[in-house]
């Protein structure tokens, strides 16, 4: 386990942002390998050998090459359990995973760069239609998460109790994205409060896109 850990990512990628937060929370030292998505560097043949989808992040760790952020976070939690990213009880774990997956499945992929580029280049949609698209899926998902947190007594300082879980790690990068796209966050006071609490922690703050070496 003493090989260097390498995170293949991009400062703007919120899936990379999630993995940066998890590595920071668990105090796992890592090296960055940057792939500039808007210049298409994720399609370079050498990178496609590591990640067949041509997406970021990819994590090199323990002699393994891991892809897909949810899978990477589960692996980190199984092999480096402290601090845990999931509660101990199956029902709590299910709740946290579901919150994370609303972002991971039902918001983020629909707003991913390759989909936005398809809307732009193949379907010839103007930029205002793309912004409406982008914010529509975030608002849909955030409404569900806000409602779930508002009615669940287990929500606390963070999405599940008073410790950070995988749910917060998925939520915060999506909130940061939403702000960049001028989404009105007024309907989501709980999400705002949790994001502010999380971003006050060094593990989140250091993982911010603006704090990455490839930021531009």
> What is the binding site for its own copies (CB under 8 A)?
52-53, 55, 62, 64, 66-68, 70-72, 74-75, 78-79, 90-91, 93-95, 97-98, 101-102, 104-106, 108-110, 112, 114-115, 118, 122-123, 125, 129, 132-133, 136, 140-141, 143-145, 147-148
3-state helix, strand, coil in the chain (%, to 5): 55, 10, 35
The answer to whether 189 and 183 have CB atoms below 8 angstroms apart is no
> Smaller CB distance to its own copies: residue 116 or 199?
116
Q: Shortest Cβ distance from residue 213 to its own copies (Å)? A: 26
Beta strand ranges found along the chain (DSSP E): 6-9, 31-34, 58-61, 64-67
Q: Shortest Cβ distance from residue 76 to its own copies (Å)? A: 9
Cα 19 from chain centroid (whole Å): 7
Q: Shortest Cβ distance from residue 184 to its own copies (Å)? A: 19
- Please enumerate, as own/partner, the contacts of 155-164 that have beta carbons within 8 Å and a separation of 24 or more: 155/190, 157/194, 157/197, 158/194, 158/197, 158/198, 159/96, 159/99, 159/194, 160/87, 160/92, 160/95, 160/96, 160/99, 161/87, 163/83, 164/25, 164/83, 164/85, 164/198, 164/201, 164/203
> Smaller CB distance to its own copies: residue 93 or 157?
93
> Smaller CB distance to its own copies: residue 146 or 205?
146
Q: Shortest Cβ distance from residue 211 to its own copies (Å)? A: 26
> Smaller CB distance to its own copies: residue 124 or 213?
124
Residue 7's beta-bridge partner residues?
32, 59
Q: Shortest Cβ distance from residue 216 to its own copies (Å)? A: 26
Tell me the C-alpha to C-alpha distance, in Å, between residue 20 and each of 76, 159, 204: 12, 19, 8
> Smaller CB distance to its own copies: residue 34 or 133?
133
Q: Shortest Cβ distance from residue 121 to its own copies (Å)? A: 12
> Smaller CB distance to its own copies: residue 115 or 197?
115
């Amino acid at each position: 386990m003493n090989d260097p850990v390498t995170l293949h990512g991009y400062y703007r990628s919120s899936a990379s942002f999630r993995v940066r937060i998890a590595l920071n929370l668990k105090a796992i030292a890592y090296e960055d390998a940057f792939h500039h998505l808007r210049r298409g560097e994720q399609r370079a043949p050498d990178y496609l050998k590591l990640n067949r989808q041509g997406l970021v992040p990819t994590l090199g760790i323990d002699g393994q090459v891991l892809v897909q952020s949810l899978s990477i976070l589960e692996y980190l939690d199984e092999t480096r359990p402290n601090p845990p990213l999931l509660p101990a009880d199956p029902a709590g774990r299910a709740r946290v995973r579901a919150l994370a997956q609303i972002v991971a499945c039902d918001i983020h992929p629909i707003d991913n760069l390759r989909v936005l580029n398809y809307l732009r280049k193949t379907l010839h949609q103007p930029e205002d239609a793309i912004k409406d698209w982008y914010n529509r899926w975030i608002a849909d998902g955030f409404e569900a998460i806000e409602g779930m947190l508002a009615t669940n007594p287990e929500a606390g300082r963070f999405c599940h109790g008073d410790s950070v879980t995988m749910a917060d790690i998925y939520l915060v990068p999506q909130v940061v994205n939403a702000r960049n796209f001028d989404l009105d966050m007024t309907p989501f006071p709980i999400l705002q409060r949790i994001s502010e609490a999380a971003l006050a922690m060094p593990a989140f703050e250091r993982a911010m896109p603006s704090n990455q070496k490839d930021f531009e």
